[in-house]
Structure formats: C-alpha cells, structure tokens
Amino acid sequence: MKANDGRVVSNFIYNSINGKPLVIYGDGSYTRSFCYVSDLVRGLQTVMEAGSDIATGEVFNLGNPDEHTILEFAKNILRLTGTDVRINFEPARTDDPTRRKPDITKVQTHLGWKPQVTLEEGLNKTIEWFKAQA
C-alpha cells in the first residue's frame, strides 16, 4: 500500500499517524469489508489447488464478510494509532456504493476457506508497517 493511493485503509492510517484529519464522505454509515492480504493469498492458493473437478469454470468470491461502517473504521484507526485527530465529513460521493460485503458461502462450503486475520490484527500489522516507512 502507498500512503497516497486513495484507499480508505492507507488514507486513514497515514493521516492518523501524521496528525492530519480523516476524511469521511457522507455520514460514515456506509459499510466496507476488509480482508488482510495473507488471507486473500491463502484463498487464491486454495482455489488454484482445488483441482479441476471442483474449480474449473467456477467463480469463488474471496474476502472478509465482516462489515464495518466507515465511521466505526475511522474510530478504530484512531484508537489503534493512539491519535486524536479530527474526523472531517465531506459530501457523499454519488458513485460510491453504500455497502460492500462479499458472499463467501461458496468457497467456504466447497473448499473450506475463510479469512483468519481479524480486522484489528490486520490493522495493527498495517499500522506498524506504515510507521516503519516514516
């Protein structure tokens, strides 16, 4: 991740550890699901190694189905970084989906895969990585 890649995880962490306000578009009630990279890689490996009789021609959603509001997510970032920066609310973006949550039922049922890294564990690792880059 790059600090300026425009994604909520990197933006919130970078701004928080650098004393800058976090920007939420809308009221922060829309949801996102966050999947740590090691879980995603393990999921891809699981699908690739599943065998042609199970996976050929199939589509498997990978991700973490645990939803969090953006406001809740921002508050978690502030808590985990130990900072107290402002949260600024900007007008909602018209093309921004209000909900993102993958349905991983198929990959769980057929291949036994599910994410293992909790949001807090993944955020702590990501925050430490960002701090090491500074």
pLDDT tens by residue, 121-133: 999 999 999 999 8
Alpha helices in the chain (DSSP H): 8-17, 37-48, 52-55, 70-81, 105-111, 119-133
CA distance 122 to 10: 12
For the chain, the structural domain boundaries read 8-119
Residue 87 forms beta bridges with which residues? 22
Q: Is the pLDDT of residue 1 over 80?
A: no
Beta-bridge partners for 129: none
CA-nearest of 80, 43, 45 to 64 is 43
Give the confidence band of 53 by pLDDT, cuts at 50, 70, 90.
confident
Give the mean pLDDT of 56-70. 95
The candidate with the shortest Cα–Cα distance to 123, out of 9, 15, 3, 16, is 9
CA angle (81, 74, 128) in 5-degree steps:
30
In tens, the pLDDT along 75-103 reads 999 999 999 999 999 999 888 888 999 99
- Check: CB of residue 62 under 8 Å from CB of residue 43: yes
The answer, yes or no, to whether residue 107 has pLDDT greater than 80, is: yes
pTM higher than the cut 0.85? yes
Residue carrying the six token digits 């976090």: 22
54: pLDDT strictly greater than 90: no
Span 8-119: which CATH code? Answer: 3.90.25.10
